[in-house]
């Protein structure tokens, strides 16, 4: 059946072609509609929708057998709850003050969705690295979700109230200051801007940038990721490698893999994926053949979506690991508008390509015969994750600055940095408001986490821990 829904334009019109002074004035005028201090407000409405009901609703379409693991991860702490509760926060943010300015937003912008990775040119950069919820949405929502995540992470690490608030304040301040910097650049200079990971660490003061494992960075530079992954994730059966099972995190769906129709569907989906790639990337990928496929459980927010690992081998005997991941509708869509793309994996891929400095070489999308959408990229291609646990306040403060910088750079690629900078201004009103909101919403997340644990104890939902 032909899709007849009326979708919005991929990106809202902004006044890029007007003189700079007019765009600055337009940004300042937004303060009349939405004063910057108003962003500091959060109070749950009297008839706020039950957050547990929102979580359950957001789990529809996921693999039901994995949902207890999702809830088990979320019940560990308010911080882990927050990471899995993007749908709850989107619902809450829809009732907060907004300027009305939209751009390509991350949608799940918490501090663990940033990190280091290699560009196709093998340069290590720092950037956003999770786009499952990306959508054309309101810019404030990303900054608010990022700020609140720092308060919760600070509390999880044992910081006092002032220190936790400070983390959120610095993230918002970096966003404002860096947006002003992008507003002063030429169009191409701002588009080409990137954050060099090694330079970021080198410019740190002493141990203040000690949130990345230097051994991991050295490893990423000195050896190919795929050779490392081949040794770690596979074993040899017969004359070719096979992905090792590590249930419940990695496992083969043996019954499905023996089914001829399932194998045909996989090949159809791979064919559609190849069609989504530029010809040069497709030519490169056609030098490999699929030798094994296994299912994989991923991060807190994605548990229950169908994800997996594809092992490919070339005629030269070298390996390539791809990861496929199911894409569902963004949690932003009920409040910010439906996606202009009928394939949600295409929404993820295009959003990532807009926001990131450089996207994965093999990033593409496909669709199963049953209509489910999947995007595909390399598995852990030289990825360097921040070490949040055990961070001291100086580490987290500087990490907050880096995240605010990266978010401003990502937003400046689809929004008018001049207009946004005009709104944000040169004083500290914005970061004061955002940090106040972050504390209030972190309190809300702690209350919601308590409701989740209560629902689990009452048997309303089932949860299992990975420890057994």
Tell me, yes or no, whether 414 lies in a domain: yes
| Better-predicted residue by pLDDT, 389 or 417 | 417
Pick from 140, 85, 104, 143: which is nearest to 331 by CA?
A: 85
114-128, 191-205, 406-420, 433-447, range with the lowest pLDDT: 191-205
Same domain, 305 and 319: yes
Tell me, yes or no, whether 113 lies in a domain: yes
End-to-end CA distance of the chain: 45
Q: What is the pLDDT of residue 294?
A: 85
- pLDDT for residue 385 is more than 50: yes
Check: pTM over 0.85? Answer yes or no: yes
Tell me, yes or no, whether 367 lies in a domain: yes
Average pLDDT in the chain:
87
Band (pLDDT 50/70/90 cuts) for residue 2 is very low
Q: What is the pLDDT of residue 206?
A: 43
Q: How many CB atoms lie within 10 A of CB 390?
A: 10
Give the pLDDT mean for 121-149: 94
Same domain, 433 and 312: no
177-186, 310-319, 340-349, range with the lowest pLDDT: 310-319
Give the pLDDT mean for 88-97: 97
117-121, 189-193, 388-392, 450-454, range with the lowest pLDDT: 117-121
Same domain, 26 and 164: yes
Q: What is the pLDDT of residue 5?
A: 46
Angle between the N-to-C axes of helices 429-457 and 51-58, in degrees from 0 to 180, rounded to the nearest 10: 80
296, β-bridge pairs: 250
Same domain, 200 and 256: no
Band (pLDDT 50/70/90 cuts) for residue 305 is confident
Same domain, 54 and 70: yes
Query: pLDDT digit string (tens) for 239-261?
Result: 778 888 887 778 887 655 555 66
Band (pLDDT 50/70/90 cuts) for residue 154 is very high
Q: What is the pLDDT of residue 343?
A: 92
* Most confident residue range from 209-213, 228-232, 252-256, 444-448: 444-448
Same domain, 290 and 409: no
Phi, psi torsion values for 273, nearest 5 degrees: -60, -45
| Better-predicted residue by pLDDT, 179 or 229 | 179
Structure-token pair, residue 46: 């009297």
Tell me, yes or no, whether 214 lies in a domain: yes
Q: What is the pLDDT of residue 235?
A: 75
Band (pLDDT 50/70/90 cuts) for residue 439 is very high
Which of 344, 378, 412 is the last residue before a domain boundary? 378
Query: pLDDT digit string (tens) for 388-400?
Result: 888 899 989 999 9
Q: What is the pLDDT of residue 53?
A: 96
Domain count, the chain: 2
Provide, rounded to the nearest whole percent, the portion of the chain with pLDDT above 70. 86
Q: 242: part of which helix (H) or strand (E)?
A: strand 240-243
Tell me, yes or no, whether 9 lies in a domain: no
> CA–CA separation, 70 vs 91, rounded Å?
20
Which of 336, 351, 378 is the last residue before a domain boundary? 378
Q: What is the pLDDT of residue 220?
A: 60
Q: What is the pLDDT of residue 117?
A: 86
- pLDDT for residue 387 is more than 90: no
Exposed, middle or buried: residue 82 (CB in 10 Å: 0-12, 13-18, 19+)? buried
Give the pLDDT mean for 89-106: 96
Same domain, 57 and 205: yes
Same domain, 104 and 195: yes
Exposed, middle or buried: residue 228 (CB in 10 Å: 0-12, 13-18, 19+)? middle
Same domain, 173 and 301: no
> CA–CA separation, 206 vs 212, rounded Å?
13
Same domain, 311 and 413: no
Tell me, yes or no, whether 410 lies in a domain: yes
- CB neighbour list of residue 241: distance below 8 Å, 6 or more residues apart: 230, 234, 235, 291, 292, 311, 313, 319
Q: What is the pLDDT of residue 308?
A: 85
Provide, rounded to the nearest whole percent, the portion of the chain with pLDDT above 90. 60
Q: What is the pLDDT of residue 295?
A: 81
Q: Containing domain of residue 406, as a range?
A: 20-219+387-457
- pLDDT for residue 4 is more than 50: no
Q: What is the pLDDT of residue 87?
A: 96
Tell me, yes or no, whether 10 lies in a domain: no
Same domain, 336 and 253: yes
Band (pLDDT 50/70/90 cuts) for residue 1 is very low
Distance (Å) of CA 443 to CA 43, 82, 83: 10, 11, 15
Give the pLDDT mean for 67-71: 88
Structure-token pair, residue 320: 């390539």
Same domain, 426 and 373: no
Band (pLDDT 50/70/90 cuts) for residue 18 is very high
């Amino acid at each position: 059946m032909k899709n007849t829904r009326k979708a919005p334009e991929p990106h809202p019109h902004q006044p890029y072609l007007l003189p700079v002074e007019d765009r600055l004035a337009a940004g300042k005028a937004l303060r009349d509609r939405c004063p910057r201090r108003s962003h500091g407000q959060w109070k749950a409405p009297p008839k706020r929708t039950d957050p547990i009901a929102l979580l359950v609703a957001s789990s529809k379409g996921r693999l039901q057998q994995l949902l207890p693991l999702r809830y088990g991860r979320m019940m560990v702490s308010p911080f882990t709850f927050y990471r899995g509760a993007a749908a709850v926060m989107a619902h809450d943010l829809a009732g907060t003050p907004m300027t009305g300015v939209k751009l390509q937003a991350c949608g799940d912008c918490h501090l663990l969705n940033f990190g280091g990775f290699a560009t196709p040119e093998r340069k290590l950069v720092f950037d956003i690295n999770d786009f499952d919820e990306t959508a054309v949405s309101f810019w404030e929502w990303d900054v608010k979700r990022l700020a609140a995540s720092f308060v919760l992470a600070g509390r999880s690490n044992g910081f006092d109230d002032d220190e936790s608030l400070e983390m959120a304040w610095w993230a918002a301040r970096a966003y404002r200051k860096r947006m002003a910097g992008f507003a002063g650049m030429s169009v191409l200079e701002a588009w080409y801007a990137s954050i060099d990971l090694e330079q970021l660490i080198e410019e740190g003061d002493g141990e203040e940038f000690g949130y990345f494992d230097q051994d991991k960075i050295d490893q990423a530079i000195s050896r190919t990721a795929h050779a490392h992954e081949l040794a770690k994730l596979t074993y040899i059966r017969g004359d070719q490698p096979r992905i090792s099972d590590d249930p419940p995190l990695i496992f083969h769906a043996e019954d499905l893999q023996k089914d001829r129709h399932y194998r045909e569907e996989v090949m159809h989906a791979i064919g559609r994926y190849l069609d989504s790639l530029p010809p040069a990337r497709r030519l490169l990928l056609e030098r490999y053949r699929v030798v094994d496929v296994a299912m994989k459980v991923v991060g807190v927010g994605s548990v229950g979506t169908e994800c997996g690992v594809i092992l490919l081998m070339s005629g030269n005997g070298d390996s390539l690991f791809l990861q496929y991941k199911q894409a569902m509708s963004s949690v932003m869509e009920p409040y910010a508008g439906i996606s202009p793309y009928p394939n949600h994996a295409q929404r993820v891929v295009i959003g990532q390509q807009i926001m990131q400095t450089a996207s994965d070489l093999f990033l593409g999308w496909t669709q199963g015969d049953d209509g489910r959408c999947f995007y595909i990229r390399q598995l852990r291609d030289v990825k360097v994750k921040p070490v949040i646990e055990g961070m001291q306040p100086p580490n987290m403060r500087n990490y907050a600055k880096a995240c605010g910088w990266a978010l401003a750079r990502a937003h400046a690629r689809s929004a008018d940095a001049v207009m946004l900078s005009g709104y944000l201004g040169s004083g500290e009103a914005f970061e004061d408001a955002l940090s106040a909101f972050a504390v209030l919403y972190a309190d809300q997340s702690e209350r919601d986490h308590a409701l989740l644990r209560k629902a689990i104890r009452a048997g309303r939902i089932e949860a299992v821990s990975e420890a057994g």
